[in-house]
Chain A
Amino acid sequence: MPERIALHVNGRHVEVDRGSTVLAALAVAGVAICRRSVQGEPRGALCGIGVCFECRVTIDGVAHRRSCQILCREAMEVRTDG
């Protein structure tokens, strides 16, 4: 069994396998909206490979991190703009 990692998505406790992306933690938490566009539309991940920047979220207080490219770490605090 892969090791599990616990973190928070918008204050909610979530567990994922080690090696999972932050985007995976969002999906496990049932969060599809990562950010709001300049006009306020909801947006979620698109390209999955770090190109489009639609999946950006705030991680441990740092804004604009690409959730599809960053792996979960224990006790990470993830915030979306949804």
Chain B
Amino acid sequence: MAERRTEVLVIGAGPAGLAAAAAAAACGRRVLLVDDNADPGGQIWRGEGRAHLAVPARFEVRCGVRVVDACGASAVLAESAGGVERLTFDRLVLATGARERFLPFPGWTLPNVVGAGGLQAMVKGGVPIAGKRVVIAGSGPLLLAVAAYLRSRGARSLLIAEQTGRLRLARFVLGLAGAPQRLRQTLELRRALAGVPLLTDAWPLSAHGAGRLEEIRLRTRRGERGERCDLLACGFGLVPNTELAALLGCRVEAGCVAVDEHQATSVAGVYAAGEMTGIGGLDLSRIEGEIAGYAAGGDERKARAGLGPRRRARRFARALERAFALREELRELPDARTLLCRCEDVSVGRAARYPSWRAAKLHTRCGMGACQGRICGAAAAFLFGWRCEHARPPASPARIATLAAQHEV
């Protein structure tokens, strides 16, 4: 197996990983940044990541590289089109980001029921949206950003269903008065969405169609209503990607990788930054990435310069979390026959017979398909209050040759 040595390895080329790589390189370290997507930028800068790289970059970026397992304490196993290799490091910065949370409701497995951020990513990848009728449902500011993007790309009609309450939302917006830049962003978004209905206290009840989505039922403040649409884009907040950190032995608490003041995890020499340590958005991710990068690079003074900004960004993250907390009623959305696990077709009713995620997995294969529980685990955690953080290698489906290479003698 090929072996590659670097001083600081950064996994994940989103805002946190890019900031970490730049900071570690500024400390004079040899830095390798890897990402499994085709381009750097993470989900938020999908397709425009290269614009966020300093030119010439002072670190090496390799995309299309998927890290699938830990190899002891100072190396990871990675696969790419070029084959399999062991990446050895002195220090590691994890910046594996987050994914969307999907909640099951009758019909959520129909084709053209998609993620909200997911639909934005699809359209950036060339999926045509012009002329389409789209309902965007779930929770959080991402719904507005997605709506504005889809409108700019020619979506015919848009409707936003935000589950959070009108008063709670109003309080959140009023709270932005203390943060003029964020208030300005919010107002600009609202302007870009002039004429687009934004329903609060609203969520999807069911999706219907023959072979693909045709109509949805929505719960609104004024009762139930039907809405014909081509796409339903759902996103009920974000879930940190903690699997690789867990495989490396890092402590995970309440779904987030636990870090200290300098973004160090519970494993010596391993740092974590960005959404995987708690959902906080772009600004917090960049600040955390910078702190982690300077700490991994050995410049404690520069790392500490980020502590104040991080405190402020975390305060905003907490306000967001409060404003868009998921309401209890959403637990009642699925009926017993609604699927929980889409990979293995396990219904909510079958999974609910068991006392824990582990027991449900053992008896039903729930969470044991291709996505390894990344979709249904977050749903089960919400529906049943289960802890679904357990991770097993490989961190994502890998070629047999990759796994075999790990055990070469």
Contacts and interface: CB of A to CB of B under 8 A. Distances in A.
B118 A49 contact: yes
Contact of B126 (A21, A44, A46): A21
A46 B115 CA distance: 6
B30 interface: no
B159 interface: no
B401 interface: no
The residue among A17, A25, A28, A69 with the most chain B CB atoms within 10 A of its own CB is: A69
B215 interface: no
Given A20-B125, A48-B119, A43 B211 contact: no
Chain B residues touching A, majority SS? loop
Interface residues of B, number: 36
B246 to A, nearest CB: 16
Interface stretch (B272-280, B302-310, B342-350, B383-391): B342-350
Given A32-B212, A33-B212, A37-B109, A48 B121 contact: yes
A53 B114 contact: no
B211 A53 contact: no
A78 interface: no
Interface in B280-303: none
Interface in A15-31: 16-17, 19-21, 23-25, 27-28
Q: Pick the 6 closest A-B CB pairs, nearest first.
A: A44-B111, A20-B126, A24-B126, A48-B118, A21-B125, A53-B370
Given A46-B118, A48-B114, A69-B38, 9 more contacts: A17-B126, A19-B126, A20-B126, A32-B111, A42-B110, A42-B211, A45-B118, A51-B374, A51-B375
Interface of B: 36-38, 43, 99-100, 102, 109-115, 117-122, 125-128, 211-212, 342-345, 369-371, 374-375, 397
